[in-house]
């Protein structure tokens, strides 16, 4: 009986540990995109959030954020959840 209780204890513990190691579901990714997320435009090209977060911050020249009525007025109803405009530094060759 004691071995059975210990076995169930390890099973319960493994469920707790695996639940803690899973990625949070509220972080958008390519497969889990949130329609309420703002649009990201990098150097004039609409870019998925998953690629934007991988940008090297040292390469960013500027960022502009438009939200609410300002975003709709400037970019149209498609961008009602906001727009983040990212301009990258020109590469030196």
Which pLDDT tens digit goes with each residue over 52-81? 999 999 999 999 999 999 999 999 999 999
d(C-alpha 26, C-alpha 16), whole Å: 19
Q: Which tokens is 84 given?
A: 């983040």
Tell me what percent of the residues of the chain surpass a pLDDT of 70.
63
- The residue ranges of every structural domain in the chain are 35-93
| In contact, 55 and 43? CB cutoff 8 Å | no
Specify the higher pLDDT residue, 37 or 31: 37
The neighbouring-strand residues paired with 11 are none
Note the pLDDT tens digit of each residue in 39-49: 999 999 999 99
Residue 23 has pLDDT above 50, yes or no: no
* pLDDT reported for residue 73: 93
CA distance 27 to 50: 10
What is the percent of the chain with per-residue pLDDT over 90, rounded to a whole number?
A: 55
Pairing relation of β-strands 39-42 and 83-88? parallel
The model carries a pTM of 0.62
């Amino acid at each position: 009986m004691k071995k059975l209780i210990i076995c169930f204890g390890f099973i319960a513990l493994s469920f707790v540990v695996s639940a803690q190691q899973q990625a949070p579901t509220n972080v958008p990714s390519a497969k889990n995109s949130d329609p309420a997320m703002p649009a990201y435009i990098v150097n004039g090209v609409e870019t998925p959030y998953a690629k934007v977060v991988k940008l090297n911050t040292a390469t960013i020249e500027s960022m502009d954020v438009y939200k609410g009525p300002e975003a709709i007025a400037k970019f149209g109803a498609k961008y009602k959840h906001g727009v983040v405009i990212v301009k990258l530094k020109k590469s030196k060759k």
